[in-house]
Amino acid sequence: MNLKPPLTELNIATANGGFYDGFTRTVAVTGKVIIGLLILWAVLFPDNAGSLLNSLNSAILTMFGSWYIYSSAFFVILCIALALIPASGRLRLGEPGDRPEFDNFSWFSMMFGAGIGVGMLTYATGEPMSHFKNNPDVIRGFVAGTSEETVRSAYEWSFLHWGLTPWACYALTGLSLAYFSYRRGLPLTIRSGLTSLFGARLSGPLGHVVDIVAVVATVLGVAQTLGYGVEQFIAGIARVSGSEWLMNDAGTASTLGIILSLVIIVGASTLSALSGVGKGIKWLSNINTVLSIFVLLFFLVFGSTLFSIAALFTGIADYLAALPSTLFTVWHTDGTETGDALAAWQGGWTIFYWAWWIAFAPFVGLFLARISRGRTIREYILGAMIIPAVVCFVWFALVGGTAIQLELSGQAQGAILGTGLSDQLYAVLAVMLSPGLATLMSLVIVVLLLTYLVTSVDSAVLIINTINAAGDEGPKARPHIVFWGSALALVVGALLIVGGLSAIQTAMIVGALPFSFVMVLMGLSLIKAIFMDNLRKRADIPRTVGTIETAEP
């Protein structure tokens, strides 16, 4: 085999002057056009948009449901293997002398706040409660819904969706980018993760397509998260202030409430994004980590502690025992009542989640890469995959377990089960506490949610601009930051007003599909790169950009 040093240059053309100075004009303009057309379509032709999105969603679930399941399983297995295998696990994301820029607390705070904090606040109560009523074990008649026997299966499925898989999607994307950027000196943009497969061809149209797909997936993935956050934010403000005009009779956010909350969230996010990662984002991430710990301690002390701890450990044990099977389980419609119900449940939950994590992966992955230089692959994967999954398990057990126990004991009398997803956490507090204390804790949740939302949006805006600028992490023109902050607000607002959360969910599943193929290729590219670098090590051939430059005559 004729071994050569790896590719260390990817010449991506960027504009030299003008409004798009420093940006890859093709990527930046095309991304803006696609998102702009989506907004106009949803606003001007809402019926057509809703109908076509639903048709596309049904087609994707039918044709690509198995693809989402198997590709996500591949991401989990690959990350675990790379961490455990010594030849890959000990490799450093950077030069041999590089060390982490951020301490572990700030690193974890930024990673968790940007990665999953908003959704966790919504689903830590809502998902265990939903699976407590219905899950595949209930559908197959193994247990009865809303019974004590259903608690274990409710947590097994909740932990599947919020455990290793989402963080494997994020970790793999970030690992690929960090490996090629910090070891090879390539631009910190999505296309760089494919260079061991396609080489210098990625500097042209092929690479532009990859980055455009990543930008669109990022906008739709963040829109999904922002949509849930907005609904819960408005529900909390309505609870705290008693302002009934913020909510509709159906229990969903009113149009005026949506507009007002988006102005607050995106305005704060844009200001934070203008300050950069090391200031606003780091500061907000540390705040929401402290508030998260406070909320967890509150539920640990005042919640259903023993019930929740039992749910935590039995849920983790059941999840890990079933993981080899559930990772690869695919249910198809077969004309039977049970088979069709299982397929519908998996499409509405598991496949929806896998698409959500994949759509979110270019944003969170690039952000993880941005803050993880100097760490080893093993350290990175353990920090970016295992620890956040355990924190999610603790959240779901303490918060969701308290909600379930309140219903099982009869204390809640349906007050939690009977309310919408976005309002369930506040309903738990209302059952647990006196009205005054419930209002105070609800206010804490609203503030925590706001910090998570701002952290997610401002991080996303910076990441989108990094992709558009061919991996340049330096400060960019303020109008581009303002544009993408406004675009996120308009996408969420338009789709929420037109079709509610289901419209955002459908758009996200459609947008995630192209990037799922990119992610699989990134995984294969990373395997090849690590394998070749180990061969180069044996042949004493330079493997990182610094050693290659030093070795040049």
Measured distance CA(457)–CA(489) in Å, rounded: 10
Lowest mean pLDDT: which of 201-205, 279-283, 535-539? 279-283
Measured distance CA(528)–CA(273) in Å, rounded: 35
C-beta of residue 444 within 8 angstroms of C-beta of residue 429 = no
Tokens linked to 256: 């005026």
Q: What is the dihedral of CA 500, 502, 504, 505, to 10 degrees?
A: 160
Return the pLDDT at 206. Answer: 95
**Pick the residue with more confidence: 78 or 38?**
78
Residue 342 has pLDDT above 90, yes or no: yes
**Concatenated DSSP letters for 256-276?**
HHHHHHHHHHHHHHHHHHHH-
Return the pLDDT at 443. Answer: 93
Tokens linked to 547: 């050693």
Residue 146 has pLDDT above 80, yes or no: yes
Residue with tokens 């071994």: 3
Measured distance CA(211)–CA(26) in Å, rounded: 10
Please give the share of the chain, as a percent, with pLDDT higher than 90.
44
Q: What is the mean pLDDT of the chain?
A: 86
**Secondary structure letter of residue 192 according to DSSP:** G
**Pick the residue with more confidence: 383 or 72?**
72
For the chain, the domains span 25-547
Residue 253 has pLDDT above 60, yes or no: yes
Average pLDDT (54-79) is 89
Report, in this order, helix, strand and coil percent for the chain, each rounded to 5: 80, 0, 20
C-beta of residue 327 within 8 angstroms of C-beta of residue 74 = no
Return the pLDDT at 231. Answer: 84
Nearest to 454 by CA among 105, 85, 118: 118
Measured distance CA(384)–CA(380) in Å, rounded: 6
Surface-to-core class of residue 159, CB atoms within 10 Å of its CB (0-12 exposed, 13-18 middle, 19+ buried): buried
Return the pLDDT at 281. Answer: 57
Q: Which amino acid is at 298?
A: F
CA distances from 287 to 240, 278, 454 (A): 21, 14, 12
Q: Residues near 174 by Cβ (< 8 Å), separated by ≥ 6? A: 364, 365, 366, 367, 368, 369, 372, 380, 384
Average pLDDT (88-115) is 78
Q: Which amino acid is at 438?
A: A
Residue 170 has pLDDT above 80, yes or no: yes
Q: Residues near 440 by Cβ (< 8 Å), separated by ≥ 6? A: none
Residue 61 has pLDDT above 60, yes or no: yes
Please state whether 4 falls in left (phi above 0), alpha (psi between -120 and 50) or beta: beta
C-beta of residue 176 within 8 angstroms of C-beta of residue 193 = yes
Return the pLDDT at 448. Answer: 86
Q: Where are the alpha helices (DSSP H) in 303-386?
A: 305-326, 337-346, 352-370, 377-381
C-beta of residue 155 within 8 angstroms of C-beta of residue 396 = yes
C-beta of residue 486 within 8 angstroms of C-beta of residue 275 = no
pLDDT single digits (tens) 472-528: 866 566 788 888 888 888 888 877 776 666 777 777 888 889 999 999 999 999 999
Return the pLDDT at 6. Answer: 87
Residue 1 has pLDDT above 60, yes or no: no
pLDDT single digits (tens) 389-413: 888 899 999 999 999 999 999 999 9
C-beta of residue 387 within 8 angstroms of C-beta of residue 111 = no
Average pLDDT (366-375) is 86
Residue with tokens 């494997």: 168
Lowest mean pLDDT: which of 2-16, 19-33, 447-461, 496-510? 496-510
Tokens linked to 448: 């925590």
Return the pLDDT at 220. Answer: 85
Return the pLDDT at 550. Answer: 61
Beta bridge partners of 92: 376
pLDDT single digits (tens) 294-322: 998 999 999 999 999 999 999 999 999 99
Residue 439 has pLDDT above 60, yes or no: yes
C-beta of residue 229 within 8 angstroms of C-beta of residue 517 = no
Please give the share of the chain, as a percent, with pLDDT higher than 70.
92
Q: Residues near 209 by Cβ (< 8 Å), separated by ≥ 6? A: none
Measured distance CA(384)–CA(114) in Å, rounded: 12
Return the pLDDT at 274. Answer: 64
Q: CATH classification of 25-547 is 1.20.58, yes or no? A: no
Return the pLDDT at 499. Answer: 67
CA distances from 549 to 11, 149, 523, 543 (A): 17, 63, 27, 10
Angle at 346 between CA 398 and CA 221, to 5 degrees: 75
Average pLDDT (454-471) is 83
**Pick the residue with more confidence: 7 or 198?**
198
CA distances from 91 to 1, 23, 179, 372, 381 (A): 23, 32, 9, 13, 12
Nearest to 203 by CA among 12, 429, 397, 406: 12
Nearest to 134 by CA among 115, 157, 159: 157
Residue 114 has pLDDT above 60, yes or no: no
Tokens linked to 499: 């079709």
Surface-to-core class of residue 497, CB atoms within 10 Å of its CB (0-12 exposed, 13-18 middle, 19+ buried): middle
Residue 41 has pLDDT above 90, yes or no: no
Return the pLDDT at 278. Answer: 47
Q: Assign 181 a pLDDT band (cuts: 50, 70, 90).
A: very high
Q: What is the dihedral of CA 213, 173, 127, 444, to 10 degrees?
A: -100
C-alpha 41: how far from chain center: 26
